Amino acid sequence: MTLLTEIDVRELPPPEPMTAILSALSTLPQQGMLRVHHSRQPYPLYAKLEAAGWAYECEQLSDHYFLISIYRQLDSSP
Amino acid sequence: MKLTGLSFDALPPIDLPFRFFICAPFFMLLCAGVILVSGESLWLSRWQPSMLALIHGFTLGFLTMVMLGALLQLLPVIAGIGIVKPRPVACFSHALLSLGTLSLMAGFMYFDALLIYSAMLLLALALGVYIAALIWVLIKKLSQGDSIWGFRLATFSLLVVTLLGLALLARNLGVEWIPTTKMVTNVHALWGLTGWAGILIIAVSFQVIPMFHVAPAFPLWVRRFLIPAIFIALILSIAFPTLGLAAINGLHAIFALVLLFVIHQRKRKVPDTSIRYWQLGALALLLSSLLFFIPETLWNRYLAVNKTHLLVALFLFFYLMSIIQGMLLKILPFLSYTHLQQRCLINFEAMQYIPNMHEFLNKKHGQWLFYLHIISGLLLIFVLAWPSLYAAFAVSLALESIGLLAIMLKIMSLYFAVNTKISQAAK
């Protein structure tokens, strides 16, 4: 099973990027990572991701090109 | 640049913007009522008390109401940071803005000092609290600088408009804080229409058009210089009204042309009522900006309509209200859908309950509203020339407001029904 899933939502109007992200996250393996090619920072998504137990990193490649990596937060419970 | 671990605000609860949006069509309906009961005399002069009630019904009850609701959602989306304590700020400002606008309209209609005093207090508190909350966010260093600078200057303009409005009301009650001259009223109106509403719409368009319609970004020189130039022209207009107004109209014509060009360049040319509202608004803005340059003597010789009245009607109804209504048709289904989607991050099973986007807004209903808006706008232009047609305009406006209200109620009820279903399934 591949651990890295990539989707490009740069040319999708809202709310389609979120639909694509949700759909990809729902099938992501436990140790997997989703890499999203986005045209902007989906700020409100970040807060919701953290609340739902996901971690993220964002890298800005140019003015309108962002690479967002999403993966499950490490379980710190005993 | 890497970004990780920073704190960003989530979208505030959806009932907060909804409460602002749902009031807007009621104020439009109230405006239709004012037109109907005031009769032909309403259209004789901009200084008619019922005309002042009508203008403030549109500008405070409809435009400002929607814009304050939209800003609650736009700031977290564009800047990553929203208003602090959104619930108390939104509930307080919304309730007092609604009551204050009603009080102001009634105060103008019946010239009742108590109503005017109440309006002053309610509107000062409503707008004062909201402006303070906006300043708290906008003084921070935020990304998306071009639009954020627009938000800052629009907020400053709203502060100027509010203070001048309060001073003008006080003058009517005999408290002379400002000199008795029409110049102050003109500054109040100009800063309201082109500073607060106009600059905010331009700043929002820089984000919304490329994002929602997959269009290219506005040219850098437009994003950098247009809003500061309009603001400088607004300041210039205080001392040199003719020069300032000419500059504002010239700059608006440039914006209208660039807006039409960017819309034309969008990648997905699917039929969309929201984009037709933007195109209608841009054409009306271009027309009003060009008509401004026709000399008064030439105008009066060939045209039977008062120049200022026609330009304000084009700018307010065909430009500002078209864009606001078009944005409502876009953001209401989007917000409903997004808020439901975000619940699925915790429970992916809930995705099955989310309806299709088209179920929130039937495309046909959006189109009917668009045609009704055009009919209302054309009737408004006719009424300026032939005031006896006022009843037709009032009826059309009432139908438009009922249509908008029906669309909103359908979207909101579907949102709450699905939200409840997701909560019940999670138990």
ipTM higher than the 0.90 cut: no
Closest CB to B10: pick one of A23, A44, A54: A44
- Report yes or no on A22 lying in a domain: yes
- Report yes or no on A78 lying in a domain: no
Total number of domains constituting chain A: 1
Tell me which chain B residues have a C-beta less than 8 angstroms from the C-beta of A43: 8-9, 76-80
Contact B22, B408 (CB under 8 A): yes
Residue numbers of chain B with a pLDDT score lower than 50: 1-2, 4-5
pLDDT of residue A1: 59
Once rounded to an integer, what is the mean pLDDT over residues A21-32? 91
Q: Do B338 and A40 touch (CB under 8 A)?
A: no
Residue B259 CA to residue B254 CA, distance in Å, equals 8
Burial of B352 (0-12, 13-18, 19+ CB in 10 A): exposed
pLDDT of residue B174: 84
- pLDDT by residue (tens digit) across B259-315? 999 999 998 888 899 999 999 999 999 999 999 999 989 998 888 889 999 999 999
pLDDT of residue B5: 44
Residue A75 pLDDT exceeds 80: no
Nearest CA in chain B to A62: B1
pLDDT of residue B267: 85
Q: Do A56 and B357 touch (CB under 8 A)?
A: no
Tell me which chain A residues have a C-beta less than 8 angstroms from the C-beta of B214: 11-13
Nearest CA in chain A to B352: A23
Tell me which chain A residues have a C-beta less than 8 angstroms from the C-beta of B1: 59-60
Once rounded to an integer, what is the mean pLDDT over residues A47-65? 89
Compute the half-sphere exposure of residue B265: CA atoms within 13 Å on the CB side of its CA.
Answer: 13
Cα angle value B19/B24/B26 (rounded, 5°): 105
Contact B350, B378 (CB under 8 A): no
Interface test with B, best of A19, A22, A23, A43 (most B CBs within 10 A): A43
Report CA-CA distances (Å) from A28 to A24, A25, B69, B74: 6, 5, 36, 30
- Report yes or no on A65 lying in a domain: yes
Closest CB to B346: pick one of A43, A52, A57: A52
Look up the CATH number of the domain holding residue A59. Answer: 3.30.110.40
Report CA-CA distances (Å) from B120 to B92, B167, B256: 16, 9, 35
Cis geometry, peptide bond prior to residue B241 (ω within 30 degrees of 0)? no
Which token pair is B225? 């210089």
Residue B9 CA to residue B4 CA, distance in Å, equals 14
Domain ranges of chain B: 13-143, 270-419
- Report yes or no on A77 lying in a domain: no
Residue B258 CA to residue B240 CA, distance in Å, equals 27
- Per the structure, the complete domain to which residue A42 belongs is given by 4-72
Closest CB to B211: pick one of A14, A46, A59: A14
Alpha helix ranges (H) inside B240-272: 241-264
Give the sign of the dihedral formed by CA B404, CA B406, CA B412, CA B414. Answer: negative
Contact B247, B285 (CB under 8 A): no
